Amino acid sequence: MKQALIACRTGMGSSMMLKIKVNQVVRANKFPLDIQHSTLDDVKSFKGDLVITMADVADEIRGQVPYVIGIKNLMDKQEIEEKLKQFFAEYNEE
């Protein structure tokens, strides 16, 4: 089971919507992913495998965590699914 953190600047609006969509994609695809939710302040202390955030924020935190997924359209479940499949393909755990 991989650990993911969904984060945005304040941990309220966009990341909450993104968490809902990611949970839907994870359940539909049975991805082995445990999801946490927080603000960007907690990214540095996050010890998991993956951070999922908005695309503009992803560029700011690359290099601080093992793997970052930046989502351009938080309502686009297909984009989320494709990027999660890519993550699991790289970790051979799909």
How far is residue 66's CA from residue 20's CA, in Å, rounded to a whole number?
23
Question: Do 18 and 73 form a contact (C-beta atoms < 8 A)?
Answer: no
Q: How much is the pLDDT for 94?
A: 45
Q: How much is the pLDDT for 93?
A: 54
Architecture of domain 2-90: 3-Layer(aba) Sandwich (3.40)
Higher pLDDT, 84 or 11: 84
Other CB atoms within 10 Å distance of the CB of residue 68: 20
The rounded mean pLDDT for the chain is 90
How far is residue 78's CA from residue 73's CA, in Å, rounded to a whole number?
10
pLDDT band at 27 (very low <50, low <70, confident <90, very high): very high
